[in-house]
Amino acid sequence: MTIEALAGQDERLPDEAAGGIPGLDPGAIQGDVHGVAATDAGAAIGVRMIDGGIIEVLLPPNQEIQGPEARIAGEAVRSLAAGRRVPVILVITGVVGVSVEARRAYTGSIAATAFALVGETPVDRVIAHYLLRSRGESIPAQFFTSESAAIEWLRQYAREE
């Protein structure tokens, strides 16, 4: 199943007042599901559940992430999590920047058990620290240069259900 939604002019999800993404039954979400939020440049933020109950958020390289698409991605994460706290891997490799509004959306709207941020360069590391700087909760978080190492670290925070 693929979830696709674009922010409208008022920066809300389509049919947000009616309960979320059109045609999406939040109770029916399971398995390998992707959420997509397009950036102004047309690139997409991918959201999917990967093995072990970990949610992956893949930010598009060479883009600056803004608030509207971050909120849509956050909605996809909440739908996949289905009210549970889950580990989240945020792949930021090659991202040019993240707005203050997007940072608030990522750090404030996801009920995560832990965050693993993945990047390859020193710039990615700076962006990762910027994203984590404002989180209020004390959620375990770590920067990785390897996605497999990040997933392995997150497994300790996944709950068996």
List of domains in the chain: 2-157 (3.30.750.24)
Asked if residue 106 lies in contact with residue 75, where contact means CB atoms within 8 angstroms, the answer is no
Q: Enter the tokens of residue 6.
A: 């674009």
Beta partners for residue 2, in sequence order: 34
Q: What is the pLDDT of residue 120?
A: 95
Q: Which residues contact 153 (CB under 8 A, 6 or more apart)?
A: 114, 116, 142, 144
CB-based contact 35:102 (threshold 8 Å): no
pLDDT of residue 27: 37
Q: What is the enclosing helix (H) or strand (E) of 133? A: helix 122-133
Residue-wise pLDDT tens digits, 66-85: 989 888 888 888 888 888 88
